[in-house]
Amino acid sequence: MTLQKQVTFWIVALVLLILVLWLLSPILLPFIAGLVLAYFLDPVADALERLGLPRLVATAAILLLSILLLVLIGLLVVPVLGDQIVKFAGDLPSLMQSLLARFNDVAPQWIKDAIAKSGTDIQGSISDIAGKAAGWTATLLASIWSGGMALVNILSLLVVTPIVAFYLLADWDHLVAKVDGWLPRDHAVAIRAIFSDINEALAGFIRGQGTVCLLLGVFYALALSIAGLKFGLVIGLAAGLLSFIPYVGALVGGLVAIGVGLVQFWPDFTSILVVIGIFAAGQFIEGNFLSPKLVGSSVGLHPVWLMFALFAFGYLFGFVGLLLAVPMAAAAGVLVRFALNQYLASKLYRGIPSEMPTPIKPPVRKRSK
């Protein structure tokens, strides 16, 4: 098979795969979640297997402990979290109005005069933005409940996901060996190298960055709750979850927490500084300890490319697309880097070196006696 036919074959296969995923996206959520869970827990199963436990027993023990932990978290955290989300959405307009009042109290007179001369109605604008934000929040919560979190999907997540994760985790090594046996023999070495890079990128992000997000979310939620901040649990967990996009979690969570703190604690500057210090400490811990240790430099995903992938896959596949965005972006990044390296090493980039003409030797003149 020629190179052109091989490229055509793989492009057609990729298009068909994307089409199948798009058509089946409404039912893929528990299967994708099970795949991600199995991939996340595979190193733990390997470690238990090295200690002498059979793979099946190690898989059952891991999933049982994971399910018990999720049930415990659900019973303890979800009711409080849901109550804070509803109250936060309802209090958002009044929070925005209170922030505007704080601004009017501390803003210099020249800023107020400049705003007045510009003819901008800040009071009306803030009210309009607050009303729209509250409406957007309510709409988002309703769409999540009616779309990705309907009763059938919740049951499927609770029942199908553990089953899928169990079978995938138990047969993970066999599946890898089976797929390896399907590789074209002429390109098996190169494909293994590509998949090794993809696995390194996925492990760095899904396992590494996922653990970082979880630890940051717990830290922010506990610290803000201990500091006495209203809606601290929601803001902290949201900041941790958004940390999979570099700087976005700390920026969004910090701004919201400081805004709520200004309304709640004013004029107690000590409490406001404590809220700021919590996010500063979180960024210090993430940048100097968590990310270098758990993620390293293996991901190779630019924040802009990551945000584009999240928007694109979320638009095409909905909530399932958000789960697929990071793995697909990481895989695409590896493939693009491989293609670029192949291009830089090819004659298409370097050009075909022309043969140098043989230099003509000047005639040897005889010396006259």
CA–CA separation, 342 and 189 (whole Å): 15
User: Does pLDDT of 238 surpass 80?
Assistant: yes
Q: What is the pLDDT of residue 140?
A: 52
CA–CA separation, 70 and 33 (whole Å): 14
Is 318 inside a domain boundary? no
User: Does pLDDT of 201 surpass 60?
Assistant: yes
Do 224 and 291 lie in one domain? The reply is: yes
Do 208 and 260 lie in one domain? The reply is: yes
Q: What is the pLDDT of residue 105?
A: 67
Do 168 and 187 lie in one domain? The reply is: no
Is 147 inside a domain boundary? yes
Is 335 inside a domain boundary? no
- Tell me if 36 sits within 8 A of 165, measured CB to CB: no
Domain assignment of residue 67, given as a range = 27-109+121-180
Do 140 and 280 lie in one domain? The reply is: no
- Tell me if 319 sits within 8 A of 147, measured CB to CB: yes
Name the residue among 271, 265, 262, 241 with its Cα closest to residue 253.
241
Q: What is the pLDDT of residue 187?
A: 73
Residue 192 binned pLDDT confidence (cut-offs 50, 70, 90): confident
Residue 151 binned pLDDT confidence (cut-offs 50, 70, 90): very low
Quick count: other Cβ atoms within 10 Å of Cβ 239? Answer: 29
Residue 132 binned pLDDT confidence (cut-offs 50, 70, 90): low
Is pTM, for the whole model, over 0.75?
no
Is 8 inside a domain boundary? no
Among the candidates 264, 284, 299, a domain finishes at 299
Do 162 and 213 lie in one domain? The reply is: no
User: Considering only 199-203, 234-238, 351-355, 360-364, which range has the smallest mean pLDDT?
Assistant: 360-364
Is 311 inside a domain boundary? no
CA–CA separation, 219 and 216 (whole Å): 5
Residue 219 binned pLDDT confidence (cut-offs 50, 70, 90): very high
Q: What is the mean pLDDT of residues 128-157?
A: 54
Q: What is the pLDDT of residue 356?
A: 47
Is 40 inside a domain boundary? yes
CA–CA separation, 308 and 135 (whole Å): 25
Do 82 and 153 lie in one domain? The reply is: yes
User: Does pLDDT of 262 surpass 70?
Assistant: yes
- Tell me if 48 sits within 8 A of 61, measured CB to CB: yes
Do 189 and 166 lie in one domain? The reply is: no
Q: What is the pLDDT of residue 299?
A: 55
Do 246 and 174 lie in one domain? The reply is: no
**Three-state secondary-structure class, residue 230:** coil
Do 31 and 153 lie in one domain? The reply is: yes
Question: What total number of domains does the chain contain?
Answer: 2
Give the rounded percent of residues in the chain with a pLDDT score beyond 90: 2
Q: What is the pLDDT of residue 115?
A: 61
Residue 148 binned pLDDT confidence (cut-offs 50, 70, 90): very low
Summarised one tens digit per residue, pLDDT across range 309-341 is 878 877 777 666 776 777 777 777 777 888 888
Is 35 inside a domain boundary? yes
Residues 204, 207, 213: CA angle, nearest 5 degrees: 100
User: Considering only 128-132, 187-191, 192-196, which range has the smallest mean pLDDT?
Assistant: 128-132
Do 40 and 170 lie in one domain? The reply is: yes
User: Does pLDDT of 217 surpass 50?
Assistant: yes
Q: What is the pLDDT of residue 338?
A: 80
Which two three-digit tokens encode residue 346?
Answer: 């090819």
Summarised one tens digit per residue, pLDDT across range 264-297 is 888 788 888 998 999 999 888 888 888 777 766 5
Among the candidates 156, 180, 204, a domain finishes at 180
As a whole number of Å, the end-to-end CA separation of the chain is: 72
Do 66 and 87 lie in one domain? The reply is: yes
CA–CA separation, 367 and 344 (whole Å): 54
Among the candidates 180, 200, 215, a domain finishes at 180
Helix, strand, coil % (nearest 5) of the chain? 85, 0, 15
Is 315 inside a domain boundary? no
Summarised one tens digit per residue, pLDDT across range 38-59 is 888 888 888 888 888 888 888 8
Q: What is the pLDDT of residue 223?
A: 92
Do 170 and 210 lie in one domain? The reply is: no
